[in-house]
A and B are shown apart, each in its own frame.
Chain A
Amino acid sequence: EDKVVQSPLSLVVHEGDTVTLNCSYEVTNFRSLLWYKQEKKAPTFLFMLTSSGIEKKSGRLSSILDKKELFSILNITATQTGDSAIYLCAVEAGGTGNQFYFGTGTSLTVIP
């Protein structure tokens, strides 16, 4: 059974802290791994990772994929209250329809 598991389920940190969010997966026909940030409504796209060991960065956010160990991490440095959100990890599986399997998300709360 294809699955995506995220940890921790929730996290509370203070502004300025650095956080690491984890995503492990077991998906056949892996194509890519994606990270999304969900605040009030629809998730917004952060990163797409397809190759192992290549870090993607956007400001204070960065992510890396390990296709051998089947996991990815999302790092957020110098956290701000605006980073409070649910962070979703999804894995795209190839084949007909290119299905996306989502984890349950990590709820991050940044306290001033």
Chain B
Amino acid sequence: SQTIHQWPATLVQPVGSPLSLECTVEGTSNPNLYWYRQAAGRGLQLLFYSVGIGQISSEVPQNLSASRPQDRQFILSSKKLLLSDSGFYLCAWSVDSAFFGQGTRLTVV
């Protein structure tokens, strides 16, 4: 069966520090992968999606970047975090519907 792993679950980082959130999918090949952010009081905002290794599309200009070094691995990064980067980040993969990882609660202080 397909599963998706996302870590860490919670993270507190100082402003200006780097970020790396990792997401891996098991039980499927060549999935579409997504990073979403859910800020307080707002819906899920699509940040990046990927249809294959090295193929990244960005939905909104921001302080974040994404990479897909392997078929089932999707990484969300930042070189220098801002306070506004705080939020709940979700990784997802899709076949017919989107299936989510458990999310990462990021607090930038």
Contacts and interface: CB of A to CB of B under 8 A. Distances in A.
Interface of A: 4, 6, 32, 34, 41-43, 45, 48, 88, 90, 92, 96-105
A104 B43 contact: yes
Interface of B: 32, 34, 36, 41-46, 49-51, 57, 59, 88, 90, 92, 94, 96-103
| Interface residue SS majority, chain B | strand
Pick the 7 closest A-B CB pairs, nearest first: A104-B43, A102-B44, A42-B100, A102-B43, A97-B49, A41-B103, A48-B97
A96 B34 CA distance: 13
A34 B92 CA distance: 14
Contacts, number: 57
B5 to A, nearest CB: 12
Given A88-B44, A102-B36, A102-B44, A34 B98 contact: yes
